[in-house]
Chains A and B, each alone.
Chain A
Amino acid sequence: MSVLDELVAGALEDQHTRERTVSLEEVKQAALAAPAPIDAMRWLKRADGIPVIAEIKRASPSKGHLSDIPDPAALAREYEQGGASAISVLTEGRRFLGSLDDFDKVRAAVHIPLLRKDFIITDYQVYEARAHGADLVLLIVAALDDEKLKHLLDLAHELKMTVLVEAHTREEIERARKAGAKVIGINARNLKNLRVDVNKYNELAADLPDDVIKVAESGVFGAVEVEDYGRAGADAVLVGEGVATADDHELAVERLVKAGAQVKASESTPLSEHQGPYWGQFGGRYVPEALITALDELERVYNEAKADPEFHKEFMTLQQRYVGRPSPLTEAPRFAQLIKDKTGLDARIFLKREDLNHTGAHKINNALGQALLVKRMGKTRVIAETGAGQHGVATATVCAMMGLKCRIYMGQIDARRQALNVARMRMLGAEVVEVTLGDRILKDAINEALRDWVTNVKDTHYLLGTVAGPHPFPAMVRDFQKIIGEEAKQQLQDWYGIDHPDAVCACVGGGSNAIGVMNAFLDDERVNLYGYEAGGNGPESGKHAIRFAPGTGQLGMFQGAKSYLLETDEGQTLDTYSISAGLDYASVGPEHAWLKDIGRVNYSWATDEEAMNAFRDLSQTEGIIPAIESSHAVAGAYKAAADLKAKGYDKAVMIINISGRGDKDMATAGKWFGYLTDDQAKALEVTGAHGNTVA
């Protein structure tokens, strides 16, 4: 006899005992006379959360004694306080040590739907559940034949109760569906490691239509399983031991409810309006508590500003009169010919000219936006990190314009690669601190900036330059940069009469220019999106900054956010390398990590060599010298064109985001292409300026 058979037989025997006191007819009358049940269907599925069914559970056959629960009503109230959407009360007495008496006490104590959980196989038990005020009953497919299952399901539905139908296999789910189940309990635990197995869940639940409520029914203990099941698509979870045996029951339920809400919010659409803090499993705030107050303040002030038309007016006026926006969308026919020669794709290429902004890159969009927020917050000092120097220059520029004190952290190696930008920042009145700790590149500059911020957070704003870091930076920086794509879309229509591009290409370091140009197109499926990381010497060389290719980045927390990260087996951050200081970063913005996981953006890379060739190609076909960072997007355009061709496009309209101009890179390019005399090159070596390799 299986455990289930035994439990069913016991439950039946117990029912017969009760029936001797209260006849079927009496229990029917009581069921019909009971106050109408709550429509539990409405409690078990919601757009903004994963409803929690918390269980009153003293013991189970598999785990034995769990908890005494002397006062089930008090426990139920704690569950309700914690935000449970329904409560499951075990009424089986032999192995689970529950009773209908428990059920009555709970019914009297709370006003949310109640599930009678028992081994129900007879009409009597169904009427009995209703008579005691149940809103839901459990039916176990494995304990019932088809006819019986349908009969009990219909009976419960007639009594206006909701039925949670428990199924363990595909066949059982089929049977439940055929019988008319509207709420199906799915058990997707991997019996080997007992963790929720998303593949198994998908295997079981894949074909279930939307109108069937899917309840994850087994193995839910804490936030981890809620997240796993939630991301796999479960509508609700049922949890027993994890809440019943917790020291603080209310807090335990609250944590599950929060985890569910977080999952739902993290997957919200439309993509272009996603506000964080989580993009899928990415993002968040992995920072010291000491920064939380400042981040909260920033988020609050930013939200106020966002809703304030005056803020937008001031921002847009400065964008127009100071930055020089809109930046043009320039058609590049001679470069398009090169693309056609190499790939066979008949492309019209348009360059979004962020290189023509004041300070020569897209970075000023964000620097300006955040500087206005600094004024709103009443802070007086600004710190920032910079890699290629473009963000540092942009920050120093807006600080000079607004009279803010400014300090820029720059890794020593980057400072040498970009000596001219260091001089520019100093000319603009900023203090430039060369960071000699760690690998002396962008990430180390960010570490120092974070240390400064933790220490001086009262009067200091950290003007982070990309869509990485802790919330609200990824969403906020995206908002300040999304003007790039919005303008490009409009210009394509107004200037060229083209409704939409077929492809958009951008380079991805932290990812702000890429998000900026892509955001306006994220929800337009017709637009193929391509992001290009810094390939350095290629993925196999170990000298690159590719986070997304197989065998490169892993999931991790870095500088405030969860994302993909280049790290060692020990979780230590790996050295990265790229000829482009601005893309030389071990991690990537969390929104990109999500866009990669959901397949919305195609990420690939361009090596140093490919980028430098593209640098020359664009310079010599169009008279536009792109930054080495942007050259990765130009190099990517060849790959994107090949991909479009493979997808069946013969003609295509492509936008390439030229995120910055290449003047700052002339020394590096001069060395690369041998345009400098030996003496000139030597002079650069001696001063340590413009080296194009990482020491």
Chain B
Amino acid sequence: MTNTATTPSGQPLGISHKPSQTEAMFAKFKAANKPAFIGYLPYGFPNPDVSLEALKTMVEHGVDAVEIGLPYSDPVMDGPVIQAASSIALKNGETIKRVFEAVETVANAGGVPLVMSYWNLIYHYGVERFATDFENAGGAGLITPDLIPDEAGEWIEASDRHGLDRVFLVSPDSADERLETVAKNARGFVYAAARMGVTGERAHLDASPEVLVERTRKAGAENVCVGIGVSTAEQGAKVGSYADGVIVGSALVHTLLADDNRTARDTAEGLKLLAAKSEELAEGIHNAR
């Protein structure tokens, strides 16, 4: 077995001091006093090929960084839309090996490629192996919805060696010391959940995300993005007025789902709707301030 975590002379990789892609992106947006638009789509949905096209479409229509989701059989943080999309992707032959094509696709289109994955998938693939392949594909960082910093020893080590961002989540009822733990261990940005609960579109967002962003910054986080529940340009603009980035998931995924919410929509039509939705959201978010 060859280990990829070595230098050409056979020594283990040290800490990579490569600059963070997402931090560079936020610096650029901050200079322009704008929030970034981060869009989510599960890789492999509705099938591997179309999902590559969809990711490209998102970047071409205003998404700055893409959270490429890895479909999982037991997505406890996800609501019905993303559950349905994940299950369609799994049925249509999604494999983690090919997600790196998606990473390259996003990078080539000019977006910042992030991956969002439940931890067991990465653990099973091999944490070091994932970090190596992800770095080689041009990946920026990994969002881990069910991995808290306290359990992340192996990932912290691998991400340090490969210069990858570690994006942990915080939620409205996280205590200050939890926010500090997350801020201290995160790299790139912190993902603030706009409300308690699973992913999905919501007609109304309350004021709690703004308070959470403020508290997370106070706890030491450089960049704080808000997700979960943001689905319209108006909500995007509102969240974008105070967050460094606005994360939209279900609303984008929804465009590729048929009206029964269980099957995939016609591809051409879906991509058209996805492009339009991306533009609409980008318009709202980028002009938030």
Binding site for B on A (CB under 8 A): 62-63, 66, 192-195, 219, 221-224, 227, 241-242, 245-248, 251, 255, 259, 284-290, 292-293, 296, 437-438, 443-444, 447, 450-451, 454-458, 554-559, 565, 567, 570-573
Contacts and interface: CB of A to CB of B under 8 A. Distances in A.
Q: Which of A227, A247, A287 has the largest count of B CB atoms less than 10 A from its CB?
A: A287
A285 B148 CA distance: 8
In the A-B complex, the 8 residue pairs with the closest CB atoms: A223-B153, A571-B124, A222-B157, A455-B197, A290-B171, A193-B3, A572-B73, A450-B76
B154 A289 contact: no
Given A194-B6, A573-B73, A285 B193 contact: no
B119 to A, nearest CB: 5
A248 B183 CA distance: 13
Contacts of B83: 437
B273 interface: no
Given A285-B151, A458-B196, A194 B74 contact: no
Interface of B: 1-3, 5-7, 9-12, 14-15, 17, 72-77, 79, 83, 90, 95-96, 119-121, 123-125, 145-148, 150-151, 153-154, 156-157, 160-161, 168-171, 173-175, 178, 182, 184-185, 193, 196-198
A452 to B, nearest CB: 9
A245 B153 contact: no
A224 B73 contact: no
A415 B36 CA distance: 46
Main secondary structure of the interface of A (DSSP, over half): mixed
A139 to B, nearest CB: 25
Given A223-B157, A224-B157, A571 B96 contact: yes
Given A241-B14, A571-B120, A286 B173 contact: no
A567 B124 contact: yes
A288 B15 contact: no
Contacts of B123: 555-557, 571
Contacts of B17: 247
B72 A222 contact: no
Contact of A289 (B2, B6, B96, B174): B174
18 contacts: A63-B7, A192-B1, A192-B3, A193-B2, A193-B3, A194-B6, A221-B161, A247-B15, A287-B76, A288-B146, A289-B169, A290-B193, A457-B173, A555-B123, A559-B76, A570-B124, A571-B121, A571-B124
A321 B7 CA distance: 68
B157 to A, nearest CB: 3
A614 B124 CA distance: 37
B193 A286 contact: no
A417 B182 CA distance: 44
Contacts of A554: 124
A570 B193 contact: no
Output the residue of B73, B90, B197 with the most chain A CB within 10 A: B73
B156 A222 contact: yes
A221 B3 CA distance: 16
Contacts of A242: 15
Given A292-B178, A293-B175, A458-B196, A286 B151 contact: yes
Contacts of A458: 173, 196
Given A221-B157, A292-B178, A571 B198 contact: no
Given A222-B157, A289-B182, A573 B74 contact: yes
B77 A288 contact: yes
Contacts of A221: 12, 157, 161
A289 B191 CA distance: 11
A245 B157 CA distance: 13
A451 B200 CA distance: 12
A570 B74 contact: no
Given A193-B1, A194-B6, A572-B90, A284 B156 contact: no
A222 B174 contact: no
A572 to B, nearest CB: 4
B150 A66 contact: no
B196 A557 contact: no
Nearest to A60: B11
Contacts of B198: 451, 454-455
Given A222-B160, A572-B90, A556 B124 contact: yes
Nearest to B80: A437
Nearest to A278: B151
Given A290-B173, A558-B74, A194 B5 contact: yes
Contacts of B168: 289
B172 to A, nearest CB: 8
Given A221-B12, A284-B151, 9 more contacts: A63-B14, A221-B161, A222-B157, A224-B157, A245-B15, A288-B171, A289-B171, A437-B83, A451-B79
Contact of B72 (A224, A296, A572): A572
Contacts of B184: 248, 251
A455 B150 CA distance: 22
Contacts of B174: 289-290, 292-293
Nearest to B125: A571
A190 to B, nearest CB: 9
A241 B77 CA distance: 37
Given A289-B171, A454-B77, A567-B120, A224 B11 contact: no
Contacts of B74: 438, 443-444, 447, 558-559, 573
A285 to B, nearest CB: 6
A247 B12 CA distance: 18
